[in-house]
Amino acid sequence: MRNKRYLVLEDGTTYKGYALGSDNLTAGEIVFNTAMTGYQETISDPSYTGQIITFTYPLIGNYGINRDDFESLRPTLNGVVVREACDYPSNFRKSKSLDETLKFYDIPGISGVDTRNLTRKIRKFGVLKAGFAQSEADIPQVIEKLKSGSFRTDEVDQVSSVRPYISTGDGYKVVLIDYGKKENIIRELNRRGCDVTVVPYQTTIEEIMNISPDGIMVSNGPGNPESVQDTIETIKEVVGKIPFFGICLGHQLFALSQGATSYKMKFGHRGANHPVQNLATGKVDLTSQNHGYAIDEASIEQTDLEITHIALNDRSIEGLKHKTFPAFSVQYHPEASPGPHDSNYLFDEFIEMIKLHKEKERTINA
């Protein structure tokens, strides 16, 4: 029988439930994810650094946790909220349960919560600060800390690679600037034969050019894109020199580097079922998403960028391309982990962009 635990929001709302995971009770921005599967990939996504995830799907943990499906070396989120946590998962690949995994990584959680009610509250009032309490007597103190405290803004620094490393291939050489990448980005590039050099987000343009890359990718990552302003100049210098592809935070940084601006969304996009329309073809893809910031559409008018994709739920920008240079970005996750594979073709478009750029260079130099 699990001990009682309380989820406390900054406005004083309290949800009673049962202890899950670690007893190291933390706090964070509470968000919700609507995916029906892929909870392991979600929990290990670095873009959730410092946040508490509410899973809207009612049963989490039923197929356990395995060694192979992590999207990072270790989860960096601050908590998990579920309606029901499965204590006895059933799958031939499992090595641990959800509860065991959260305890191993010292992450607190709570089960038995009315996650539908909580999600409706976040949708109505926007993302809120939240924390955990072990007893009713602790709740006032948690509320006071939430109201008076503030969270770290150096999330990217917590999850970016410490030093460069290579995932070898026999095709084009791609530099992946790591702002909190998901491992499946590397896997997708390797499947296409790419030789991937992962570099920390502070890597300079000179260091990148010394690698002689055929293409540049800027990864997803956590937090506000304006918190890493000092790296935007590097991206600005890269665009136009080498074919460029940005994903999620990389999409936002691409836009900011070209003069656009960003804003914080009311409750963001987090899930594996978000419809996105390609404006050139009219085709709609279901996409995997995880972001709390977006690019201001009005700010695009003053740039050399063109909107290529929009979210059908709220009409926010989901894709951009440069009008002159071989550079594009998407707000969603084409590496599809977790999620559908509808937008996986974007990696092929990136490879084709590299190919055409190299052919153009050969023609000029001939």
Q: How far is CA 104 from CA 20, 22, 75, 154, in A?
A: 12, 8, 10, 24
Same fold: 4-148 with 155-365: no
- Tens of pLDDT, residue by residue over 80-95, are 999 999 999 999 999 9
User: Would the pTM of this model clear 0.75, i.e. be above it?
Assistant: yes
Fold of 4-148: Glucose Oxidase; domain 1 (3.50.30)
Confidence at residue 315, expressed as pLDDT on a 0 to 100 scale? 98
According to the model, what pLDDT value does residue 361 have?
Answer: 86
Catalytic residue numbers, as ranges = 248, 333, 335
Q: Nearest to residue 48, comparing CAs of 267, 270, 251?
A: 270
CATH class of 155-365: alpha beta
What pLDDT, on the 0 to 100 scale, is given for residue 365? 80
Model confidence over 196-225: pLDDT tens digits? 999 999 999 999 999 999 999 999 999 999
Strand 14-21 and strand 4-9: pairing?
antiparallel
The residues of the chain scoring below 70 in pLDDT are 1
Q: In the numeric block, which tokens belong to residue 43?
A: 């929990």
- Helix H, strand E, coil C: the string for the chain is CCCEEEEEECCCCEEEEEEEECCCCCEEEEEEECCCCCHHHHHCCHHHCCEEEEECCCEECCCCECCCCCCCCCCCCCEEECCEECCCCCCCCCCECHHHHHHHCCCEEEECCCHHHHHHHHHHHCCEEEEEECCHHHHHHHHHHHHHCCCCCCHHHHHCCCCCEEECCCCCEEEEEECCCCHHHHHHHHHCCCEEEEEECCCCHHHHHHCCCCEEEECCCCCCHHHHHHHHHHHHHHECCECEEEECHHHHHHHHHCCCCEEEEEEEEEEEEEEEEECCCCCEEEEEEEEEEEECHHHHCCCCEEEEEEECCCCCEEEEEECCCCEEEECCCCCCCCCCCCCCHHHHHHHHHHHHHHHHHHHHHC
CB of 178 closer than 8 Å to CB of 198: yes
pLDDT confidence of residue 362: 86
Map out the domains of the chain as residue ranges.
4-148, 155-365
